[in-house]
Amino acid sequence: AELGGADLCGADLSRADLCGANLSRANLRHADLSGANLRRASLRGARWDDYTQWPAGFGPPKSS
């Protein structure tokens, strides 16, 4: 999926297959990514906050 720069604020992407997706520069604040497949997804420059929900065991990069 090509989601670079997308405004996904508050989006429900739980259980979405985002394997290899381009999420660079996307707004992921308040997004629910629990259960999503983020293997090989690009998060370069993406923005998230403390309310962003990540898949179990997934550790996003430290800076957002």
Summarised one tens digit per residue, pLDDT across range 11-61 is 999 999 999 999 999 999 999 999 999 999 999 999 999 999 999 998 777
Paired strand residues for 27: 7, 47
From CA 14, how far away is CA 62, in angstroms rounded?
21
Six-digit token string for 5: 């720069």
Question: How far apart are the C-alpha atoms of 57 and 9, rounded to whole Å?
Answer: 22
The DSSP output letter for 48 is -
Name 42's bridge partners. Answer: 22
**pTM across the whole model:** 0.90
pLDDT, position 7? 98
